Amino acid sequence: MSTLDSKIPKGPLADKWTKHKNDINLVNPANKRNIDVIVVGTGLAGGSAAATLAELGYNVKTFCYQDSPRRAHSIAAQGGINAAKNYQGDGDSNYRLFYDTVKGGDYRSREGNVYRLAEVSANIIDQCVAQGVPFAREYGGYLDNRSFGGVLVSRTFYAKGQTGQQLLLGAYSAMNRQINRGKITPYNRHEMLDLVIVDGKARGIIARNLVTGEIERHSAHAVVIASGGYGNVFYLSTNAMGSNVTASWKIHKRGAYFANPCYTQIHPTCIPVSGDHQSKLTLMSESLRNDGRIWVPKKKEDAEAIRQGKKKPKDLSEAERDYYLERRYPSFGNLVPRDVASRAAKERCDAGFGVNKTGQAVFLDFASAIQRYGKERAGIQGNHNPSDEEILKLGKQVIEEKYGNLFQMYEKIVDENPYETPMMIYPAVHYTMGGVWVDYNLQSTIPGCYVTGEANFSDHGANRLGASALMQGLADGYFVLPYTIGDYLSKDIKTGKIPTDTKEFDEAENKIRELLEKLINNKGTHSVDHFHKKLGHIMWNKCGMARNAEDLKSAMSEIRALREEFWKDVKIPGGMNEMNAELEKATRVADFLELGELFAKDALDRNESCGGHFREEYQTEEGEALRDDENFMYVAAWEYTGDPGNEVLHKEKLEYENIEVKSRSYK
């Protein structure tokens, strides 16, 4: 059944990448000038890849749906980026970052890929500092670190709560340098709508110019997909409004296998839903769990009183509070991994201890951190007997320096001051570990079609650790892909320019034209959002934080029915040959309606709980996830066969030679 070859190099774990780099073919600088590469998506993974490939000498075309590469959603990443620098001297190493990542992913990721990620991580920080990324520093002028969930060291580098922004602007500036040199041609406000395959190889894309509506053909010797994750299949998520699965889904339909679609990260600390009009959810960085303590009232009556506004959180004494993460997981406390923290919040809220109007929120409290920092800073300033007021003032100052923008954002959205009263938070869809299947070279099952960053599946297993998405995006783009793609392109030095006036391009373009015409001429009765919201509802209720076989089966049939309804009844005003935001949304939602069904199928097929995938039927007595390593220690890679409900499963067996597979404990 399976022909999946991960192409992990032989040899000891720590030598694999170096050996591989020595073994692969190179392209000489003069020949690089004759080779074109398309990069779809300009976030950390795409932007860094585009800049590096252009710098090496390839001719690069970038595509993004936003008006500028700088607006890709990597920009919204808040807390930080991991790197095994061991600047804190707290015992960090490449191996430990590798170990934490594999364990954090609940033993569902590839050893070889994860070790490489850890190995190149330190270099990312060097590179970014050289580019002028203003990371946080200590008074001595050296780089500062903080800690994230699921680890026992401080290896996270950060720039206040705007780390993603600063890293993306770094990659964008590297791109700008190459645009200025004429080595990158940016196609902004363009959306890739299909992949063109010639003689079995990815040779170009069909894209729509979102300003004029024009359908364009673009050819290249290789195509890199770096278009991010598919969290918006849930409608409400922390993703940007435009984040979509279209590029990944289109290559899937052209032959790229899609791996582990059901592995979704539900992030524990987001601002709770406030009403039906809600268009997106806002994350409050995991870094807040360094200093914030999560709790709900111990007694249901108190929770009820808080929900009704009769009591305030401050009215409850320490003894009346349940710091449930500290209680259940004493060694990791508030810094357990995201999947564990999210499920624990859901458990308390389902049991009736939720603290906002809807009962779907828990507290994240900074009062004790404010006290601790206040005393510390007073001491540094020589005030060894500070008053309560002074402590409070100084403590708030320290918190402001660390998390100022997050606190401001919270206050603007919720209209409450988090310096005075604890934040209210609840889990929300954030990141997708699943994605297009790639081998060690980041190549999909379509030759010449590479997938990087969140769009691929490779490094995070069933759960991603905090501050590792930025690390992976930049590792793929700056340090991995530029080597591995060269090996493939070395066979293309004599190919010459790929023509676009061929039957393959005709076929792909006609298909897209027909799709768009069908949508425009449909003249149904409901907006695209109407269908997207319905899909999100099914996904959240039946494929969300807790899943079971019965719900997943009904999710599959409901999504299928909704998809049919969409194609019968969707209404798109305006025309094709102009800027048309509804048409853009429609093509994206059409793909989500297919992915959703495969998502549910994958979740149904995986009869175990692991990481972000929690099946109610498979749990320990204490409610922890129960893996089934004997039967499910594999990557589920799905092959499209014309119907998302009937895709064919290929298994890539996962082997652990350098790490002992254990049940994951953070207790």
Partner 1 sequence: MKLTLKIWRQKNATTKGELKTYPIDGVEGDMSFLEMLDVLNEGLINKGEEPVVFDHDCREGICGSCSLQINGEPHGPDRLVTTCQLHMRMFNDGDTIVIEPFRAKAFPVIKDLVVDRTAFDRIQQAGGYISVNTSGNTIDANTIPINKHDADESFNAATCIGCGACVAACKNASAMLFTSAKVSQFALLPQGRIEATERVLNMVAQMDKEGFGNCTNTGACEIECPKGISLENIARMNREYLSASLKG
Q: Which residues are catalytic?
A: 338
Of residues 83 and 625, the one with the C-beta less far from partner 1: 83
Query: Could you identify the residue written with the tokens 């520093």?
Result: 137
DSSP 498: P
Contact 259, 613 (CB under 8 A): no
Other C-beta atoms closer than 10 Å to the C-beta of 67 total 11
DSSP H or E stretch at residue 209? strand 201-209
Minimum Å distance from CB 586 to partner 1? 11
Minimum Å distance from CB 282 to partner 1? 5
DSSP 34: T
Minimum Å distance from CB 535 to partner 1? 16
Contact 286, 149 (CB under 8 A): yes
Of residues 114 and 283, the one with the C-beta less far from partner 1: 283
Phi, psi of 252 (to 5 degrees): -60, -45
Angle, helices 581-605 vs 503-521, to 10°: value is: 100
Minimum Å distance from CB 486 to partner 1? 13
Minimum Å distance from CB 92 to partner 1? 14
Which tokens sit at 63? 């595509």
Of residues 283 and 489, the one with the C-beta less far from partner 1: 283
What is the dihedral sign for C-alpha 286, 291, 292, 294?
positive
Measured CA to CA, the distance from residue 200 to residue 509 in angstroms comes to 18
Of residues 240 and 325, the one with the C-beta less far from partner 1: 240
Of residues 405 and 490, the one with the C-beta less far from partner 1: 405
Sheet holding 215-219, edge to edge: 190-198, 201-209, 215-219
* Whole-Å CA distances, 352 to 165, 326, 339, 360, 424: 38, 19, 20, 9, 15
Residue 207 β-bridge partners: 192, 216
What is the dihedral sign for C-alpha 331, 467, 425, 265?
negative
Of residues 371 and 405, the one with the C-beta less far from partner 1: 405
Minimum Å distance from CB 73 to partner 1? 6
Minimum Å distance from CB 277 to partner 1? 5
Minimum Å distance from CB 55 to partner 1? 6
Beta strands in 355-462 (DSSP E): 362-365, 423-432, 435-436, 449-451
Contact 196, 204 (CB under 8 A): yes
Of residues 123 and 490, the one with the C-beta less far from partner 1: 123
Measured CA to CA, the distance from residue 167 to residue 44 in angstroms comes to 7
Of residues 225 and 475, the one with the C-beta less far from partner 1: 475
Contact 111, 95 (CB under 8 A): no
Measured CA to CA, the distance from residue 566 to residue 658 in angstroms comes to 49
